[in-house]
Structure 1
């Protein structure tokens, strides 16, 4: 791996490594503490820990919400497994942060597929998964994007460099020792994925149009020639979890200050909140 940082985002005070959440029971206090301390948090979980005993149990429908029909139409077993586990983890994380119930959290999707919490604009979320690991980013500071890949995923020599790197990055990789290039390319890829998710573009934003300098103590987006492409409002970082997964995050401070209290009961009208809770209890 090419110089993974010890903290997830060096430029953001106190945002430490991703927090392992092995199931619906948390530890959610740790997640809320991270959010209170740094305005953002990144959590990760293992696929097997989040799989329900019976993935087709109709009692899951209130938790999956509007995605239930989409989920039921999925034919590929692995795709269905990842979908249900990742949505459960995402909704439980959002519920913990909002001090609400996961069945009250409504996921919606922007053009391109980026998830968001309907009716909760004060909180931004991001989701990524690969192999047996899922990651969720949550922020009350502004936009957030996360991405996870196998740290030893083979990328060098497969044409990925020409599809994903700027001329500046190609020169940077070429100058590296050969045994470091693949890890560096994985890190570059996850940083680009995280940034693209944060700005809502995903893979529609050509990776050859922006890049990173891995030697910087605080990474920033660069133009293809290596000149700065973003300002101080953006923070980036990378680390390795479970000793085999590279996780990167992109975090934007919107400059409007933090929402100090993001509990659903203080953001929603009391009458509406009572009605929603009543509906959930009746399900």
Structure 2
């Protein structure tokens, strides 16, 4: 399923893992609406971006996060409060603490929001800018089986496979909430043309089998992935639609 085919419209309570696709390219009215939807702290952080484009996309992605979480929790987006977990991963604060797992990623014009009622979830999206040195980057950060798989590919296929591998790894690390404390070469994911999967964690295939990885075809030069701490997890895919910022929350 490509992003253009994802059903649109907000839903109620989250009963299974769900990934939302967000179009972050908004007109001036939409940008103002998103900024107004943020907390004072979020607006202050947005103001620190040097590039206007980065500020607008930060505001849009976080306004969308508030909108989607509020719909799932049955509350007003402005009332939501957040805290940092033990490893620095954002979490919902009281009175919604432990009600819902979520994760946010944005790159270029695309945002992804993952929600899960219980299992940990992580999402990652990357805009695929040209990377002639992708093999060098892989050798610096990836696990040996991943490097070998990329080296074996024809050069014309290598960049797309690198980005697919990168997003799968980032989605898993984001689901853990461990940040940089969990090294990217400490676990192995499948590299295209192999289907997405977590192969091993610290050399253990048993630990990896408790997770699901899915590839996301996002179009417009973007690629993404979702990691869910549930074997064989079924995941819903939805989109807010291009006019989301102009609709009442």
Match of 1:220 in 2: 198
Match of 1:28 in 2: 10
Match of 1:202 in 2: 179
Unaligned runs of 5+ in 2: 232-249
Match of 1:274 in 2: none
1:38-85 per-position Cα deviation (integer Å, ceiling 9, x unaligned):
x11101111123865564x8981x643542333344444233212211
Counterparts of 1:51 and 1:41, CA distance in 2 = 29
For the structure 1 residues 51 and 98, does the alpha-carbon distance in structure 2 shift closer, same or farther, using more than 3 Å as the test? farther
CA-CA distance at 1:185 after TM superposition: 0.9
For the structure 1 residues 155 and 54, does the alpha-carbon distance in structure 2 shift closer, same or farther, using more than 3 Å as the test? same
CA-CA distance at 1:140 after TM superposition: 0.6
Match of 1:102 in 2: 77
Between 196-205 and 123-132, report the one with greater CA deviation: 196-205
Match of 1:150 in 2: 127
1:179-217 per-position Cα deviation (integer Å, ceiling 9, x unaligned):
211111111100111011100123442212212123554
Match of 1:162 in 2: 139
Match of 2:224 among 215, 227, 247: 247
Match of 2:17 in 1: 40
Q: Could you state the TM-score of these two structures normalised by the residue count of structure 2?
A: 0.77
Structure of larger gyration radius: 1
Match of 2:150 in 1: 173
Match of 1:279 in 2: none
Equivalenced residues, count: 228
Counterparts of 1:169 and 1:217, CA distance in 2 = 13
Counterparts of 1:180 and 1:174, CA distance in 2 = 10
What CA RMSD, in Å, does the superposition of the two structures yield over aligned residues? 3.2
Higher relative contact order (CA 8 A, sep 6+): 2
Q: Could you state the TM-score of these two structures normalised by the residue count of structure 1?
A: 0.69
Match of 1:88 among 52, 56, 63: 63
1:224-249 per-position Cα deviation (integer Å, ceiling 9, x unaligned):
76x62624321111021125211100
Higher relative strand content: 2
Counterparts of 2:28 and 2:119, CA distance in 1 = 30
Counterparts of 1:59 and 1:242, CA distance in 2 = 26
1:122-163 per-position Cα deviation (integer Å, ceiling 9, x unaligned):
201101111111111111131110000124542644621112
Residue 159 of structure 2 corresponds to residue 182 of structure 1: yes
